[in-house]
Amino acid sequence: MTASTDETSGAIDAEYDPERRVGSRQPFLDWYVRESSLARARLDCRLDVSYGATPAETLDLFPSSAPGSPMVIFIHGGYWRALSSKEFSFVAGGLVPHGISVAVMNYALCPAVTIAEITRQSHTAVAWLAENAWQFSGDPTNLFAAGHSAGGQQVGMLLSGSTQTGRAAGAVKGGIAISGLFDLRPLQHSWLQPTLQLTDESAAAQSPLLKIPKRAAPLLLSVGGDESNAFLSQSRDYLAAWQAAGHVGEYAPQPGRNHYDAINGLADPQSPLTRIIVDFIRRCA
């Protein structure tokens, strides 16, 4: 490896590793775990419902009290290599009180699987909800995809429509990506590469920025104001490309939030983030 490559990799790591900006992620993960435990205790929930053929393909479902409500599938972050649905039950805490059912998706992790396989699992989960959302107070014709960080990339892949078939095709009525990653090519030169094992082909194929569809559902992007320039640019560049293609795209910055706490508002029905998302869903539905 040349010195220039070392310098490039170091600069990319500095931009894409949130712990370099805010310190250890553990206090944020502890908050996720605590708030998620409280949400599961407080809300009606059906845990570990299978949506696919492999053990990791499960949903934690939080039905609203109103049959036929919009349903959000939430896809967690963790750079495709960490965490599970259980740390993110808290996202139902803000949405369910507004009459929105929530399905928190679990998926297999890298390096045991590729990002392409995770994308397949996301499409499978949407197809399953298109058939079964009604069992959990959801309206199969009003499905929304939301995700954080790596989950934001998955939202972009769902909206790209490139691999959707059957009931999954066109099922997502709107996408909500918080601090998402939409161009994976820089990560080939990061500390994540040994785990993600991206090739030139797979990095391009899994980059929503490079897969803007001709027709698409509305998109809402949100980023913490204290995030790195790279994370800010990922969302801004994706939004610009989305709007340039003639699609509806909205931007909701969160001043004072970092990469880890940019989703914390979803635990609170009255938070600005929850209210923005609820308004977006109602307008799209």
- Find the CATH number of the domain harbouring 145: 3.40.50.1820
Domain extent for 149? 3-284
Other beta carbons within 10 Å of 6: 11
The number of distinct structural domains making up the chain is 1
pLDDT band at 7 (very low <50, low <70, confident <90, very high): low
* Alpha helices (H) along 147-199: 150-160, 193-196
* Percent over 70 (pLDDT), the chain: 95
**Helix, strand, or coil (residue 209):** helix
Q: List beta partners, residue 145.
A: 73, 175
The answer to whether 171 and 126 have CB atoms below 8 angstroms apart is yes
List the beta bridge partners of residue 102.
62, 72
Model confidence over 60-99: pLDDT tens digits? Answer: 999 999 999 999 999 999 999 999 999 999 999 999 999 9
Beta-carbon contacts of 180 under 8 Å, excluding residues fewer than 6 positions away, are: 147, 148, 149, 151, 152, 153, 155, 156, 221, 234, 235, 238
Lowest mean pLDDT among 3-17, 45-59, 90-104, 150-164: 3-17
